[in-house]
Chain A
Amino acid sequence: KNEVEQSPQNLTAQEGEFITINCSYSVGISALHWLQQHPGGGIVSLFMLSSGKKKHGRLIATINIQEKHSSLHITASHPRDSAVYICAVGPYGGSQGNLIFGKGTKLSVKP
C-alpha cells in the first residue's frame, strides 16, 4: 500500500464546476504539500500546510491531521486549471527535503 494515496486518478470537469481532489496518507508528517504540474513539466508549489485550511485565489486546501487526510478544492474551475495535481508529505523525522509523493490526479477542465 502506498504511503500517500490520491483520488481520483483522473478527473474531467466542465468549466465553472467545483472540484475536489483527495489525499490520504499513512505516516506521521511535518507538513503536507500540494503541487501543480502542467504539461511540459515545471512544478509549482500551491500550498504547504500542517493544520487547518489555506486559501489562495480560487484554491483552498484543508488538512485533518487526526484523520490523515487532505483535500484540494478548486472553485469556478477554468481550462487553465488543467494540470496534474500532486500531494506530497514530509514525514515526521525524515531527512532534509525527503518528500513522499502521491501518484497525482490529472485534471482536465473542458470549456
Chain B
Amino acid sequence: DTEVTQTPKHLVMGMTNKKSLKCEQHMGHRAMYWYKQKAKKPPELMFVYSYEKLSINESVPSRFSPECPNSSLLNLHLHALQPEDSALYLCASSRLGLAGYNEQFFGPGTRLTVL
C-alpha cells in the first residue's frame, strides 16, 4: 500500500469553528509532514513529525495544532482560523534518513475554506 489518505476532501468552516484534518499511511514511514499550499504557489512546510514527535514547526500560528497519535496517523486541529488560512492542506510521509533524500508520498489534500 503506497497511499496516503486524507479526510475530508473539502472543508468549509467559520472563524469560530473547531475542526480537524486527518491523514493516514500504512507504508511504515516514520516521518510525516503537513504542508499548506495557496493557489499557484508551491507547498509550504508547516510541521514535521519524526518517530511521532514534532521535530519541525515552521513558525506556524498556534491556531494550527498538529498531533501524531501513532505511527500511521497525523491530525491537524484547527481553531479560530482566519480567511487567509484558506488553502489546500497536504499531508506527506517518507522514510527517515538524510534530509531531503527520501521520496515523499503525498496525500490528495484537503481544500479548506474559512468564511
Contact = CB atoms under 8 A, between A and B. Distances in A.
A98 B99 contact: yes
Interface string B16-49: 0000000000000001010001001111010010
Nearest to A40: B108
Interface residues on B, range: 20 to 34
Interface of A: 29-31, 33, 35, 40-45, 48, 50, 86, 88-99, 101-104
Interface of B: 31, 33, 37, 40-43, 45, 48, 50, 55-56, 88, 90, 92, 94, 96, 98-109, 111
30 contacts: A31-B100, A31-B101, A33-B104, A35-B106, A40-B108, A41-B88, A42-B106, A43-B106, A43-B109, A45-B103, A45-B104, A45-B105, A88-B42, A90-B99, A91-B100, A95-B48, A95-B55, A96-B31, A96-B96, A97-B33, A97-B45, A97-B48, A97-B56, A97-B92, A97-B100, A97-B102, A101-B42, A102-B42, A103-B41, A104-B42
